[in-house]
Amino acid sequence: MNSYLLLGTILSPDTPSHLSTYKAMLIRDGHIADVFSTIPSTDIVSSDIPRIDTGTALIIPGFSDIHLHAPQFANLGLGLDEELLPWLETYTFPEESKYKDISYATTMYTAFTKALLTNGITSSVIFASIHTPATLQLMTLLERAGLRAFVGKVNMDRNSPDYYQETTEESIAATTDWLTAARQFKQVRPILTPRFVPSCTPKLMKALARLADAYQVPVQSHLSENRDEIAWVRDLHPECHNYLDVYRHYGLLRGPRQTIMAHCVWCTEEEKQMLADYEVIVAHAPFSNADLASGIAPIADLQQRGIPTGLCSDISGGHELFMPRTIAMAAMMAKERATLCGGHTLTTMELFYMATHGGGIFPQIGHFAPDYAADFLIIDDSDLCLSNHSYTPFQRLQRFLYNGEPRQITDVYVAGKRCQR
């Protein structure tokens, strides 16, 4: 169907503070053509247009997870007694090195893609591994599933195990080949992915900046996640003022909303101003920050400064892929930070907006308006609606976000098409 009318309880987070409620939505060619507060008559929408009537089901935008590590999927829940750096050495690098085997990569990435659909994640920004064939296979699987994504072949040419490290020349050549091959995809696009400053030499970072210019692609990495990591960066780069300045110095801070930095737990005042100046998107990972004892990121403070933010699972540093639980965790962590350090909390609406808009890396997703992408979830929340209690649409949403389960997502649509789950 190129066009159809969708009926249900349609909830649109238009801003971080406003939720619109509609009864119907006209979908045409993968985009939203119109929204209606009442069911339109056949004078307005022709009876020839097919209708999908979901009854009283909730219909919300698909979730956007803007930082996660696909080759760590098998490690969910493992090693979380460690902090960041020993966790990388003991658990992460050994697992990611297995993706040299394309058969293993295909099996695991197939399971990962299915998990995205199960959890209602319609758009994502993903770290793959250093292996080009496996990264292209991941992109193929995501495209076949109908999902939106940015996927990055990881770059690492220093301070990594011998069994999981490239030479500088190998990394540059492989990344160039991958960027060329990635032109075949439509909804899945490449994003340059220096793992983090300690694993990338200046020569490699400069080369990646040139590739970003040549291929017009965004950049993702990590920033100020852990105090030991920050001290390490300071020792490696005394020529730079701070951690974020290393990325700036080597040309990896791109145009507005074209750079994603995950974590940003311990950013200095100077770094916060630079994040705002460059419109860097901050990927907030509340589960990972807690699981690896990294700290509580000052997300409310960053938002007050106008820095774009989105939510992420950061698996497998974080152990949870279901975005509503990430919303709940982010709310709790913001309250803890406000109690301990002062400042603002984050409301449910603000977090729901973050969870659907992804900080702006994907244009025209996150709410329902003409010309926006028709990416949405249909949710059967009937078992959350007690028979003797009347809930408003926003209360139903809150119940789902705080008490819901992935099984209540009955259908996932991307670009107006139902995804096979």
Query: Same domain, yes or no, for 11 and 32?
Result: yes
Query: What pLDDT score was predicted for residue 41?
Result: 93
Does residue 331 sit in the same domain as residue 382?
Answer: no
**Do 168 and 42 belong to one domain?**
no
Beta strand pairing call for 148-152 and 188-190: parallel
Answer whether 0.85 is exceeded by the pTM.
yes
Please identify, among 335, 360, 385, the residue that sits at the C-terminal boundary of a domain.
Answer: 360
Over the stretch 328-384, which tens digit does the pLDDT of each residue have?
999 999 999 999 999 999 999 999 999 999 999 999 999 999 999 999 999 999 999
Q: Which domain range does residue 37 map to?
A: 3-62+366-418
285 with 381, same domain? Answer: no
User: Are 349 and 382 contained in the same domain?
Assistant: no
243, 224 contact by CB (below 8 A): yes
Task: Based on the fold, state whether residues 233 and 87 are members of the same structural domain.
Answer: yes
* Mean pLDDT per 10-residue interval, the chain, length 421 residues: 94 98 98 97 93 97 98 96 94 98 98 98 98 98 98 98 97 98 98 98 98 98 97 97 98 96 98 98 98 97 97 97 98 96 96 98 97 98 88 97 98 97 83
Residue ending a domain, among 343, 360, 377, is: 360
Domain check: are 280 and 320 in the same one? yes
Task: State whether 135 and 232 are in the same domain.
Answer: yes
CA angle, residues 321, 385, 115, in degrees to nearest 5: 20
Among 360, 318, 325, 262, residue whose Cα is nearest residue 64: 360
234 φ/ψ sector (left φ>0, alpha ψ -120 to 50, else beta):
alpha
Domains of the chain: total: 2
- Give the CATH number for residue 272: 3.20.20.140
Strands 148-152 and 154-155: unpaired
Q: Are residues 41 and 78 in the same domain?
A: no
Per-residue model confidence (pLDDT) at position 326 = 98
- Measure Cα distances from 282 to 300, 383, 404 in Å: 12, 35, 26
Q: Which of 360, 375, 401 is the last residue of a domain?
A: 360
Q: Are residues 400 and 335 in the same domain?
A: no
- pLDDT for 373 equals 98
Nearest of 218, 174, 226, 169 to residue 196 by alpha carbon: 226
Q: What is the pLDDT of residue 299?
A: 98
Query: Do 325 and 217 reside in the same domain of the chain?
Result: yes
Instruction: Provide the pLDDT for residue 387.
Output: 78
The two beta strands, 376-379 and 51-61, are: antiparallel
Three-state SS for 377? strand
Q: Cβ contacts of residue 369 below 8 Å, gap of 6+?
A: 12, 14, 32, 35
pLDDT, position 388: 77
CATH number (domain holding residue 408): 2.30.40.10
Kindly state whether residues 122 and 174 are assigned to the same domain: yes
Looking at residue 223, its pLDDT comes to: 98
